[in-house]
Chain A
Amino acid sequence: MKFRTLSFVTKLRRLEAQINSASLADYAYADGQAALTILQGRTRSAIARIRDTESLSPTTLNSVLRDANFLLIRATYIIGIIVRSTSVRNGFELYAPFLDICHKLLGDDARLILSSEWQYVPFTYPQSLQELPNFVIIGLPASESDNVLIFPSAGHELGHSVWIKHALATILGPIIISYIDEAFLQARSEIELNFQIPRTADFEQDMFVQMVKSSVFKSAIAQTEEYFSDFLGMILFGESYLHAFEFLIAPQLSGARSSSYPDTHRRSKVISDYALTKLGITIDAYSDSFISDQPPATAQDKLILRLADVVTERVLEQTYSTALGVVTDAKVSTPTAAQTQVVEKDFVQGVPFDGDAAIGDLINAAWHIYKSMEQAVFTKQGREPDEYLSDLVLKSAEIHEIKRYMP
């Protein structure tokens, strides 16, 4: 075997050895090991493909090797997440109820990996490892992974999996394209000026214009996916989604704005407006806690983002109704003000809730107390409110789980 291909076989073989080693860890739930088994198969296939294509043309072999590099990069990253899902920092008690939600929204074959990560932002990894299409992979910040107050952010991350599973880009994409066409006609002079497009260009057909439209589309569809995920998190968890978002993000967590995300301040305004008008949730001056991101540096990028923002906001109503439709169709139990109040009465007494409640009710009740003067009760007992409230929610979830299997 030539050195070039041998080195790749070696790299992949060493990756497989790490997968085998990771499989020996103590997993509380089987899904991590199932993902490792799939990755092991994928790694073996990549080795076989390299051996099989060694004698093909150099250009084809380059693509095969580049593909193998991409697998090495993704798999290494995912294996790390799977290994860290065994950490005792994780709130394992919320795994089962959240997996139930995943099953309802994604189907019975949905698998869940909930991990504690060393970066201070919740994230999901659903898009880039197509070999694990049924896996919802969510990482929560290590210092917060047992803090139930921020758990609703997992609802946003689940939204990305729902977006893919339900192929929502194929539903909302064509609407976005039609809005982009309209936006381009309205801003034609500005677009011609900024991109040096001849005044005679056919905006419907000109290839260069299509490339600009494609950039606007990429931004608008990504932003729409973010709003969809926000709405899904908000519908699943209620007001605690907004509190968790503020807790983790406010006033802002990055510098320059990414074209894939709405502006932080505007996003907080949109989700609080929708919380009020659609769910009757009022949080006074919510968006005042957030600030805007730094806009892009060039006039062209600014224009692309502005057009994408216009289009994204036009499709917001459909985005919300799509999220609501998905949750309603799946018959997922969502929180109500009345049930949250029932849970809160027990929590204020310092005891877990042992009745039936949505996971959102438990966390909303915890947030009510955390944000009120009632939290002082726990502080007097020598416990931090977030720790005590997390214990109450986790114990309540555990009791619910025990009763489910031992009625």
Chain B
Amino acid sequence: MKATDQSNLERLPLAEIALNTAIELDRPVIGERATVWMRRLAASISNAGSDDFGLVPVYNRALTSVNGEGPKTKADLYAKLKSLSGLLSDDGKIMQDDKIALRDFCLALHDGLLNDGFQSHYNVVDSSRLQ
């Protein structure tokens, strides 16, 4: 990947990273592109913390989508994200079941972030900003 591509990638929002990771995980074979996106997503979610506390519901829903059982505590939520982050960093050694689970997590994460994005857009369009 060229330096400029890398720089653009750094600026891509989490939703875009999640969607691209899901796309690559959905392909029959995990290639080099998948590894790049998976590592980028792993870095983003392993750093989840108090500065993006507003994302707690989105992460909670995305984690629940993986096996139907969401985190019970805050510590559990961050531990699960760390665990997924480790799996994503595992350079193509992912089993088929994990691959589907990770893809579903990515899609649910993208879905939740897009919902926030739509809400943000319509806040701008429908109401005032200075007010």
Contact = CB atoms under 8 A, between A and B. Distances in A.
Interface of A: 49, 52-53, 56-57, 59-60, 63-64, 66-67, 70, 73-74, 77, 119, 121-125, 127-128, 130, 133, 153, 156-157, 160, 169-170, 173-174, 177, 202, 204-207, 210-211, 213-214, 217-218, 221, 245, 248-249, 253-254, 258, 260-261, 264
A248 B125 CA distance: 18
B50 A177 contact: yes
A74 B53 contact: no
Interface of B: 11-13, 15-16, 19, 22-23, 26-27, 50-57, 60, 70-77, 103-104, 107, 110-111, 114, 117-118, 120-121, 123-125, 127-131
17 contacts: A52-B23, A63-B19, A121-B131, A128-B117, A156-B130, A157-B130, A204-B74, A207-B60, A207-B72, A210-B56, A213-B53, A214-B55, A214-B57, A248-B131, A249-B131, A253-B131, A254-B131
Nearest to B123: A260
A121 B60 contact: no
A77 B56 CA distance: 29
A407 B70 CA distance: 67
A248 B56 contact: no
Interface of B is mostly: helix
A261 B123 CA distance: 11
Nearest to B75: A205
A121 B103 contact: no
Contact of B50 (A174, A249, A258): A174
Contacts of A157: 129-130
Contacts of A206: 73
Contacts of A202: 73
Contact of B54 (A64, A67, A122, A218): A218
Interface of A is mostly: helix
A121 B114 contact: no
B11 A153 contact: no
Given A63-B110, A63-B111, A66-B114, A254 B19 contact: no
A57 to B, nearest CB: 5
B51 A214 contact: no
B11 A133 contact: yes
6 smallest beta-carbon distances between A and B, as pairs:
A121-B128, A123-B129, A173-B51, A205-B73, A170-B51, A214-B56
Nearest to A74: B121
A174 B51 contact: yes
A211 B60 contact: yes
Contacts of A70: 114, 117-118, 121
Given A59-B107, A160-B129, 13 more contacts: A53-B26, A67-B15, A67-B110, A73-B118, A74-B121, A121-B130, A123-B129, A177-B53, A202-B73, A210-B60, A214-B56, A258-B123, A260-B123
Contacts of B114: 66-67, 70
